[in-house]
Amino acid sequence: MAPRCEAGLLLLLLALPPASAGLSDYFGTKSRYEEVNPYLVSDPLSLGPEAGGSLPASCTPLQLRAVLRHGTRYPTAGQIRRLGELHSRLLRHAAAAAACPAAVALADWPMWYEESMDGQLAPQGRRDMEQLARRMAARFPALFAARRRLELASSSKHRCLQSGASFRQGLGPTLDFGGDEVEIEVNDFLMRFFDYCAKFVAMVEENDKAMCQVTAFKEGPEMKKVLEKVASALCLPVEELNADLVQVAFLTCSYELAIKNVTSPWCSLFSEEDAKVLEYLNDLKQYWKRGYGYDINSRSSCVLFQDIFQHLDKAVEESKSSKPISSPLIVQVGHAETLQPLLALMGYFKDAEPLLASNYAQQAQRKFRTGRIVPYAANLVFVLYHCDHVNSSQEEYQVQLLLNEKLLPFHHSNETISTYTDLKDYYKDILENCHFKEECELSQVNVTVVDEL
Phi, psi of 321 (to 5 degrees): -90, 10
The Cα 108–Cα 2 span in angstroms is 8
**Rounded CA separation 64/401 (Å):** 10
* Cα(195)–Cα(201) distance, integer angstroms: 7
SS3 sequence of 92-140: HCCCCCCCCHHHHHHHHCCCCCCHHHCCCECHHHHHHHHHHHHHHHHHC
Cβ–Cβ < 8 Å for 243, 227: yes
Note whether 104 and 131 are within 8 A (CB): no
Q: Is 70 a catalytic residue?
A: yes
Separation CA 426–CA 366 (nearest Å): 25
Of 70, 87, 93, 386, the catalytic one is 70
Rounded Cα distance between 404 and 381, Å, is: 8
Q: d(Cα 433, Cα 144) in Å, to the nearest integer?
A: 34
For 63, phi then psi, to 5°, come to: -150, 140
Question: Where are the extended beta strands (E) located within 183-309?
Answer: 184-186
Q: What residues act catalytically?
A: 70
